[in-house]
Structure 1
Amino acid sequence: MDSMRGQGGIQMLLTAEQEAQHIVSAARNLKITRLRQAKEEAEREVANYRSHLDAEYQNKISESSGSCGSTAKQLEEETEIKIKNLKETAAKVSPDVVGMLIKYVTTVKT
């Protein structure tokens, strides 16, 4: 009877070991599947982020190249205004400067 129990116990252990192997195998397969899904999701996120950054970069390039002409035009206008202001200021001060120069040239120090 002990030998029957021993064989039955061994058979139970073998069955339990097989069940454990199936559980471990299923868990391993599930882990591999999850890792593949995570990798694919990460690759999609990286691709989306890369395309987003590329789109931003292209927008900045198009904005800066498009605004070059307007920036140059704006600088020309500002320069013209500054030149005009300088000429007006010089015209206002010119008689005083001329008078001062004539005074110093014609005054004799003794």
Structure 2
Amino acid sequence: MDSMRGQGGIQMLLTAEQEAQQIVYAARNVKTTRLRQAKEEAEMEVTNYRSHLEAEYKQKLSETSGSSDSTEKRLEIETEQKIQHLKKAASQVSPDVIAMLTKYITTIKT
């Protein structure tokens, strides 16, 4: 009788282990999907922002075409200042964004 009970216990443990593996596998799939989605959204946002800046630059460039070299230098300086400002802002926000994404991705709702 005890050997039958032991066999049933082993079978239950094997079943529980398989269920746990399925849960872990599903959680990994969800995490991978979230990471891909976040990466795609970030790339799309960067692309949109870059195209916006390029369009803005081209517009200013067309408005000032035929102007003197000083206008061109002024635009280059303004552009460089904006780039530096954006880099500074991005570096300040980056740790918070990374922490938020890490928390969101590693938190599994059950």
Kindly indicate whether structure 1 or structure 2 has the higher relative contact order, using CA contacts under 8 Å at least 6 residues apart. Answer: 2
- Structure 1 position 57, deviation (Å): 0.5
C-alpha deviation, 1:27, in angstroms: 0.8
* Corresponding residue number in structure 1 for 2:51: 51
Give the aligned partner of residue 6 of structure 2. 6
**What secondary structure does 2:41 align onto?**
helix
The alignment partner of 1:65 has SS state of coil
Q: Structure 1 CA distance, aligned partners of 2:66 and 2:59?
A: 10
Q: Please report how far the alpha carbon of residue 61 of structure 1 lies from its aligned counterpart in structure 2 after TM superposition.
A: 0.7
* Equivalent position of 1:92 in the other structure: none
How far apart are residue 14 of structure 1 and its match? Answer: 0.3
The structure with the greater share of residues assigned to helix is: 1
1:25 alignment counterpart: 25
Q: Which runs of 5+ in 2 are unaligned?
A: 69-110
One-letter identity of the residue aligned with 2:60: K
Partner Cα distance (2:45, 2:62) in 1: 26
Corresponding letter in the other structure for 1:42: A
1:13-92 equivalences under 5 Å are 13-65=13-65
Runs of 4+ aligned residues of structure 1 deviating over 2 Å after TM superposition are none
TM-score, structure 1 normalization: 0.57
**Aligned-pair Cα RMSD in Å:** 1.7
